[in-house]
């Protein structure tokens, strides 16, 4: 069965280009040209991935992303013509998996779509590297249920946040560069902004750390990357 990609963008020429290239790759395409229609399709049509523009009529992409994340963990790639870093970060903070800045290269976009759907499929199929429940101090990681708890309390992690903490915890003490994490966790071999990793780490710390300013679990090796504490 072909995978469904929902494209939410009010620029018809952009949608047409994306649709043409996705169809060549065998994807089924759903389209929406404003935020309200896009949100309705996202919740009712159950797409495998969402390409979401920021600036749209009726409801902007940030609000759509937020409302989708309240109910679904569908991979979301933000599409934005804005160059401001704050817009990119806000999308990630609201739960988007990544962003692509317009004008984007078709090859880059296709690579990101494939990587995100591939990661999502592996999760749905239960392909986990750690099948048991693992405990690290106050933190418990359940790879079967895709859950993280702190002192027994369930943390509301996105799929990407869970994949990141599980990967780092499985290699405790080993430092990974941002580029390496993009490859290992996001599945991007050639494309990706390392800022995506930084924002995801910050989101993760805010949820699992008692004091995110002084993290105990997900630590930074200055000038190198991130690692999971061995203590």
CATH homologous superfamily for the domain 4-124: Response regulator (3.40.50.2300)
pLDDT tens string 121-165? 665 555 544 457 888 888 888 887 778 988 888 888 888 888 899
Contacts 24+ apart (CB under 8 A), 32-40: 32/6, 32/7, 32/8, 33/8, 33/9, 34/10, 34/58, 34/59, 35/8, 35/59, 35/60, 35/61, 35/63, 35/64, 37/8, 38/6, 38/8, 38/64, 39/64, 39/67, 39/68
CATH 3.40.50.2300 intervals, the chain: 4-124
pTM as predicted: 0.74
CA distance 86 to 72: 24
CATH 1.10.10.10 domain range(s) in the chain: 133-228
pLDDT in tens, 38-88: 999 999 999 999 999 988 999 999 999 999 998 888 899 988 876 666 767
pLDDT in tens, 96-133: 888 888 878 888 888 888 888 887 666 555 554 445 78
Q: Which CATH class is domain 133-228?
A: mainly alpha
- Euclidean distance between CA atoms 33 and 41, whole angstroms: 11
d(C-alpha 13, C-alpha 166), whole Å: 40
Cα dihedral sign, 17-22-26-28: negative
């Amino acid at each position: 069965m072909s995978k469904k990609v929902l494209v939410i963008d009010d620029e018809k020429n952009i949608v047409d280009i994306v649709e043409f290239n996705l169809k060549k790759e065998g994807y089924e395409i759903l389209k929406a040209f404003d935020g309200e229609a896009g949100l309705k399709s996202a919740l009712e049509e159950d797409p495998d991935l969402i390409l979401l523009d920021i600036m749209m009529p009726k409801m902007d992409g940030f609000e759509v992303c937020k409302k989708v994340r309240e109910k679904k963990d569908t991979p979301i790639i933000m599409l934005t013509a804005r160059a401001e870093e704050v817009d990119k970060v806000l999308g990630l903070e609201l739960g988007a998996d990544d962003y692509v800045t317009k004008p984007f290269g078709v090859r880059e976009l296709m690579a990101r779509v494939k990587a995100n759907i591939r990661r999502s499929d592996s999760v749905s199929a239960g392909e986990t590297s750690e099948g048991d429940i693992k405990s690290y101090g106050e933190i418990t990681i359940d790879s079967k249920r895709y859950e993280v708890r702190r002192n027994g309390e369930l943390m509301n992690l996105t799929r990407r946040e869970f994949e990141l903490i599980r990967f780092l915890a499985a290699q405790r003490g080993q430092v990974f560069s941002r580029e390496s994490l993009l490859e290992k966790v996001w599945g991007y071999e050639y494309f990706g902004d390392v800022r995506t990793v930084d924002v995801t780490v910050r989101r993760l710390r805010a949820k699992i750390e008692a004091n995110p300013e002084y993290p105990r679990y997900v630590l930074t090796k200055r000038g190198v990357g991130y690692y999971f504490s061995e203590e």
